[in-house]
Amino acid sequence: MAYKVGRGTYGVVNKVRSNRDGCIYCMKKVKCGHLSSQRQKEVMSEVSMLKSMKHPHIIGYITSFMEKHSLYIIMEFAAKGDLGKIYEDHKLRKLHIPEQFLWRVLCELSLALHHLHSNRIIHRDIKIVNVFLDHNNTIKLGDLGVSRVLQGEEEMAESRVGTPLYLAPELIRRQPYHFKADVWALGVLMYTLSALRGPFVGENIYVLGESILHEEPRALPGSYSRSMRDLIRSMLLKDPSDRPTIVREVDVANS
């Protein structure tokens, strides 16, 4: 039995129960017949990376198979959904999300990103709806569909992918980018959870891009600690070389 629970980068995601063990999983179905060869390579890249990315804060890969020109990817099911539900609930009730929870989100996502970056992988699509909670409230980073592996120490990615609101300035400028683009996106996510609004606004993609390039986010609520506000602000610095590393974020979150 399958129930639709969302949509990933290139496919529909369903909640399914295994006939073999009775457990609940997520199944992403990606129709491959009409996809370009480049799109098919990107889809297969997600599968390849999922197989190798075993980490307590990354959605786990179970198996995959092809059937009738569609690729099916079976993944760990996050029983409590994505962070979008928490964001929308607090925004509707006009209640700030507790700082203790935000520190945990930051710490556990930073650990997940440190694992990816240590394996030369940029996630490239960090956003609220790609972060999940399992039945134990463990934070899980999902949807590696647009991730990219960097083979060399100095290699820089060049294709512009991701969700517009979360794009770093270097992507807006169509410049080569590196792991600090993920730091920026994580900063946007943390700002959005803290302020219950995005750090940048625009009535269209062009205006949004100009805002990202030239404007500074409004101050975060004073109810949050200075250390949290300062760290989020540092993650949103325009120059990627000025942003903290993921290792630094883990250190601050654990201090």
Q: What angle do CA 114, 136, 3 make, to 5 degrees?
A: 95
Question: Would you state the structure tokens that stand for residue 24, as one six-digit string?
Answer: 């609940």
Residue 21 annotated to the active site: no
Asked whether the beta carbons of 74 and 26 are under 8 A apart, the reply is yes
Q: What angle do CA 115, 120, 121 make, to 5 degrees?
A: 75
Q: Name the active-site residue from 21, 89, 125, 143.
A: 125
In our burial notation (b when 16+ CB lie closer than 10 A, e otherwise), range 126-159 reads bbbbbbbbbeeeebbbbbbbbbbebeeeeeebee
* SS3 category, 29: strand
Distance (Å, whole) CA 96 – CA 91: 8
Picking from 124, 107, 255, the residue whose alpha carbon sits closest to that of residue 190 is: 107
Catalytic positions, written as ranges: 125
